[in-house]
């Protein structure tokens, strides 16, 4: 934990050496061990250059031996966390580190997120995230935070940070922040795997853990219908619900039932409830938008954010009309945080379209296109711009 930057550097260099070496000599029998050994050697060399080899090299060798022996970290007397990624997420969720910093650290160090992807998740600038990471590493050094895990209740106290990291890992898979692919199903599968491991152990078997995995399963169930055969983005009202994965929906609803035990309610409960309402509606017209709006109202009370408020505005528009939706967008607290987010202008453009404000719709869609960084989203916005421009112009409201 005191050499996080070094760990990142040697991991990247080890992977680069693997690509060069394996492309010529083939993949070794144990790729993971090969990369680990190279990384350890690089770390030892770096520490020697820092004139710290005497104190650090023994620690690295000891750690390598422990890794080879597949250590088990105590959860309870008879329970262990055997998954490396999950264990390290709990390490990052140290109580001496601020909650947001815990999640940022886990996403950067463990999940391999770029600074831009983390900034997108937190509606922040890359510079702000870089500063946060620097401050966090300094805090780790000053507080002498190590890789040890506590046991029992002390371990359970770190659960919220772990759940938040898994949630954002899934979100990046559900809607990539950049690139040609809208979905990164590998990230979604990994997030679901980690959440399932949590639920298998006493400290992670909580209602909010069940709620999170319910949310992820119910959302993943709709993946087969999010894109058409040409890879173009489909809105919820255009999706073929016959393609939704019913076994996943059933599993998600089962976990949502477990999440309902006790008096606890979390943001994951409310988001899973919204996902469930979409999944159980036999068709788009049957969607219970009134209940969805109630969920968003409670979510705004429990954990408000500009993104939640924007989604709430969509529900308002379905219930009370497009103008009510625009009014709700205008009233979003800290709306300026959405200025760099294409969804603000996509939703605004759609609501103007419904009001026959075609010029305003086109302006917002063009603004959204300038901000969108994912191929299918860009293609969708181009279609929306063409649709708006194909209608004869008429007097209408401003584009804001």
Per-residue model confidence as pLDDT tens digits over 327-363: 999 999 999 999 999 999 999 999 999 999 999 999 9
For residues 63 and 19, the model is more confident at: 19
Query: What Å distances lie between residue 336 and 194, 292, 306, 366, CA to CA?
Result: 34, 25, 9, 18
Whose CA is closest to 240, among 230, 229, 225?
A: 225
For residues 186 and 147, the model is more confident at: 186
**Residue 75, H or E segment:** strand 73-76
What average pLDDT score do residues 182-196 get? 90
Per-residue model confidence as pLDDT tens digits over 200-242: 888 888 999 999 999 999 999 999 999 888 888 899 999 999 9
Looking at every residue in the chain, the average pLDDT score rounds to 84
User: Is residue 398 pLDDT above 70, yes or no?
Assistant: no
Q: How far is residue 86's CA from residue 93's CA, in Å, rounded to a whole number?
A: 11
pLDDT of residue 118: 86
Per-residue model confidence as pLDDT tens digits over 335-344: 999 999 999 9
User: Is residue 55 pLDDT above 70, yes or no?
Assistant: no
**Residue 307, H or E segment:** helix 306-320
The number of residues making up the chain comes to: 400
User: Is residue 71 pLDDT above 60, yes or no?
Assistant: no
DSSP state of 107: I
282: three-class secondary structure by DSSP: coil
Write out the DSSP string of 369-391. Answer: HHH--BHHHHHHHHHHHHHHHTS
For residues 68 and 121, the model is more confident at: 121
264: left (phi over 0), alpha (psi -120 to 50) or beta: beta
User: Is residue 392 pLDDT above 80, yes or no?
Assistant: no
Q: pTM of the prediction?
A: 0.77
Whose CA is closest to 165, among 247, 214, 101?
A: 101
Greatest mean pLDDT among 27-36, 181-190, 323-332 lies in 323-332
């Amino acid at each position: 934990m005191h050499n996080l930057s070094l760990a990142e550097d040697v991991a990247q260099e080890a992977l680069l050496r693997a690509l060069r070496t394996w492309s010529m000599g083939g993949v070794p029998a144990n790729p993971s061990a090969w990369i680990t050994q190279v990384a350890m050697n690089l770390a030892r060399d770096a520490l020697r250059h820092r004139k710290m080899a005497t104190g650090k090299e023994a620690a690295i060798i000891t750690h390598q031996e422990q890794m080879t022996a597949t250590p088990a970290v105590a959860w309870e007397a008879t329970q262990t966390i055997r998954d490396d990624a999950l264990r390290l997420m709990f390490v990052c969720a140290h109580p001496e580190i601020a909650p947001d910093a815990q999640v940022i650290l886990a996403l950067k160090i463990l999940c391999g997120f770029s600074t831009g992807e983390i900034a997108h998740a937190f509606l922040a600038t890359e510079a702000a995230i870089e500063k946060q990471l620097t401050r966090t590493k300094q805090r780790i050094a000053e507080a002498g935070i190590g890789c040890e895990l506590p046991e029992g209740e002390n371990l359970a106290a770190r659960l919220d940070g772990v759940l938040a990291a898994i949630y954002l890992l899934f979100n990046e898979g559900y809607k990539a922040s950049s690139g040609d692919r809208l979905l990164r199903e590998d990230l979604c599968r990994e997030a679901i795997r980690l959440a399932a491991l949590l639920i298998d152990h006493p400290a992670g078997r909580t209602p909010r853990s069940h709620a999170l995995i319910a949310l992820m399963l119910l959302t993943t169930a709709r993946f087969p219908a999010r894109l058409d055969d040409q890879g173009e983005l489909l809105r919820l009202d255009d999706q073929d619900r016959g393609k939704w994965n019913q076994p996943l929906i059933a599993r998600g609803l089962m976990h949502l039932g477990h999440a309902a035990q006790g008096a606890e309610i979390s943001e994951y409960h409310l988001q899973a409830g919204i996902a469930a309402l979409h999944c159980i509606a036999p068709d788009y017209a049957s969607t219970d938008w009134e209940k969805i709006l109630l969920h968003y109202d409670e979510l705004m009370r429990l954990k408000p954010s500009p993104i939640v408020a924007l989604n709430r505005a969509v529900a308002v528009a379905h219930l009370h009309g497009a103008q009510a939706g625009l009014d709700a967008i205008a009233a979003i607290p800290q709306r300026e945080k959405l200025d760099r987010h294409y969804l603000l202008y996509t939703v605004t453009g759609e609501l103007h379209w419904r009001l026959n404000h075609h010029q305003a719709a086109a302006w917002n869609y063009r603004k959204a296109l300038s901000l969108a960084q994912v191929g299918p989203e860009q293609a969708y916005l181009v279609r929306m711009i063409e649709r708006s421009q194909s209608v004869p112009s008429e007097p209408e409201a401003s584009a804001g």
